[in-house]
Amino acid sequence: MIISADRSVPTAREVDLSMFGIDPWWLVIVKALLVFAFLVLTTLVLILAERKVMAWMQMRVGPDRVGPKGLLQTVADGIKLGLKEGITPSGVDKPLYLLAPVLATAPALMAFAVIPFGPVVSVFGERTPLQLTDLPVAVLYILAVTSIGVYGIVLAGWASGSTYPLLGGLRSTAQVISYEIAMGLCFAAVFLLAGTMSTSGIVAEQTGIWFALLLLPAFLIYCVSMVGETNRAPFDLPEAEGELVGGFHTEYSSLRFAMFMLAEYVNMITVSGLATTLFLGGWRAPWPLSIWDGANTGWWPLLWFVVKIWLVLFVFVWLRATLPRLRYDQFMALGWKVLIPIAVVWVMVVAVIVLLAGEGRLPGTASLVVAGIVVSAVSFWYLGYRWRRAADPRNDPGTGTAGPPVRHDPTMGGYPVPPLPGQLPASAPATTQEESNV
């Protein structure tokens, strides 16, 4: 299927992009407006669904006042933000302060331009693919566009002229750099297997079996990286309310604040659509629906694509409802010391298997599945080992070696956190009245 023995060295596939760039101007405008409407409407529904699902998981009532069973709560919140006064604090760098929400929102909307919703269909007599456009390097385009979004966060923190927004912006810079590396390595494994960077070509290569099964470690690493990339719990460190007030958008209000929220949720939809495209078969019907000949033709694939996106979005909500926020050093250690090394090893394993399978020395599909299970199992064992080692009170946080319990002295450096009760050195006993008189 994907790896064949009829060629000695795997080469890039010839992807047919002849259907793109030939649509009439009115159809291009219609498709762009429909993509924009899909993102905005999905955001409105997602905010309400998130609050409802979290309330259900945490045994709360959730929104139930505005509209029947609270269904109009998101609309009310949008109207409230729109009617609030837009306050510009004194001392801000006004041009950058106003530009930051735009830089955060526009790239989030642009990234969805190359995500395929379905196959070629007929729209008012015109044959066109359910995709705004495609490129030979479409996935790299998504990486480039989404990486621009962090400038909106950084500039928002810098231009606000306040300490806590600046710290939130700096956190976001380190966070995005760390987790974009792991995400890019996951994409490299997909490129090796699919032989193309075109999103429509990657979907076409998943006709028989999805890449989530063939590239299991890459899929799991991507799932973690996409949560860190979108600043969502438990990785919402740039806007850690308990530590940095409101994070990088502390000094924003009204529609400017709403633009940051829109960017966050649109980014969630974008990375969910990218996960669906790269690992979950794209718009192709899941088994056993794929047995039906008409499941992957016409407008039915649009339904499968939307359902897959919502399944990934449900995971975002599930994580926020159940997991506490990580400490910053734990978060960075996870990215640099766990995800990136595993992703590098997996890319090398995939490259070797693809090369040997192309020469007919290995069964490509079976080798990838077995290797993926082995690498995933070893990775989980390593994570468990690190967690048990960190939780062991005998381990000295300064040296990392096991030994007798060490009394913590917060005055000797380390993480800038307040000491817990009992961690301060014992104070000298109080002097008596007679001793003070002497």
Give me the count of residues in the chain.
438
Highest-confidence segment of 117-126, 228-237, 286-295, 299-308 = 299-308
Task: Give residue-wise pLDDT tens across range 261-272.
Answer: 899 899 999 999
- Reply yes or no on whether the pLDDT at 379 is more than 80: yes
pLDDT of the residue at 216:
94
- d(CA 184, CA 229) in angstroms, rounded, equals 12
| Among the ranges given (163-177, 278-292, 347-361), the one the predictor scored with the smallest mean pLDDT | 163-177
Average pLDDT over residues 127-132: 90
- Residues 6 or more apart whose CB falls under 8 angstroms from that of 207 comprise 1, 284
In the chain, where are the structural domains located?
86-391
pLDDT of the residue at 243:
58
- Reply yes or no on whether the pLDDT at 12 is more than 60: no
- d(CA 218, CA 226) in angstroms, rounded, equals 12
Task: Give residue-wise pLDDT tens across range 335-344.
Answer: 898 999 999 9
Answer for the pair 119, 154: CB distance below 8 angstroms, yes or no: no
Q: pLDDT: is 17 or 9 the higher one?
A: 17
Task: Give residue-wise pLDDT tens across range 306-337.
Answer: 999 999 999 999 999 998 888 888 888 898 98
Q: pLDDT: is 60 or 408 the higher one?
A: 60
The mean predicted confidence, pLDDT, of the chain is: 83
The DSSP annotation for 93-154 comes to: -HHHHHHHHHHHHHHHHHGGGG---SSEEEETTEEEESSS---TTHHHHHHHHHHHHHHHHH
Quote the pTM value.
Answer: 0.84
pLDDT of the residue at 268:
93
